[in-house]
Amino acid sequence: NVNVVIPYYGYSRQDRKDYSRAPISAAVIAKCLESQNIDRVIVFDLHAGQIAGFFSNRCPLDNLYCEKYIMSYIKTNIIANLNCNDGRDEVIIIAPDEGAVKSAIRISTRLKCAAATIFKSRIKPNEIHMMKLMGDVKGKIAVMVDDIIDTGGTMCKAADLLIENGAKEVYMLA
């Protein structure tokens, strides 16, 4: 058997058509991989889950999640270092955009701490028009969690927003 392990699936943001007659690049990569007669593809944290549907039954795709490692890091390096009861009251998990909300909620629920999100609108790619915090971070340690960082613009502006709203520390995990 030939199993291909891909830590980062290239073109994972190109999972749909942006304009007429445009290629769906994530699907093209899937076809290229399948044409090599491989038996299975293993990836980590696909940006868009529907990419798994681009692979046939002949070559299944396994999407593994890194959330448990992120949670372990937060428990060991952030919560455990706090000088209060169990530290969970001081930590808030932040979704830096709408795409990260599900993951942030899963992590915060398992860690038994609060969660918040940031609403973001763009004028064009890589240019943020507005960001609005939805939640209370005052006096808390904010931990932003996302699946991918491209230019870092969103995370940097989000960190500034969190500090402006009273977060005492900001961590970024991706």
Mean pLDDT over 75-81 rounds to 88
The yes-or-no verdict on residue 22 having pLDDT over 80 is no
Q: Which residues pair with 11 in a beta bridge?
A: none
Helices 67-77 + 101-111 axis angle, to 10 = 50
- Residue 86 has what pLDDT? 67
Give 152-159's long-range contacts (Cβ < 8 A, gap of 24+): 153/126, 153/128, 154/96, 154/97, 154/120, 154/128, 155/96, 157/128, 157/131, 158/94, 158/96, 158/118, 158/120, 158/131
How does residue 82 score in pLDDT terms, banded at 50, 70 and 90? confident
Structure token pair of residue 173: 């995990």
Alpha carbons 10 and 120: distance in angstroms, whole number: 24
The yes-or-no verdict on residue 122 having pLDDT over 90 is no
Average pLDDT over all residues of the chain: 87
How does residue 160 score in pLDDT terms, banded at 50, 70 and 90? very high
* DSSP strand pairing (127-134 vs 114-124): antiparallel
Specify the range with the lowest mean pLDDT, choosing from 49-58, 67-76, 131-140: 49-58
Catalytic residues: 120
The yes-or-no verdict on residue 48 having pLDDT over 70 is yes
The yes-or-no verdict on residue 109 having pLDDT over 90 is yes
Alpha carbons 28 and 8: distance in angstroms, whole number: 16
Report the alpha-carbon angle 51-101-73, nearest 5. 95
- Residue 85 has what pLDDT? 60
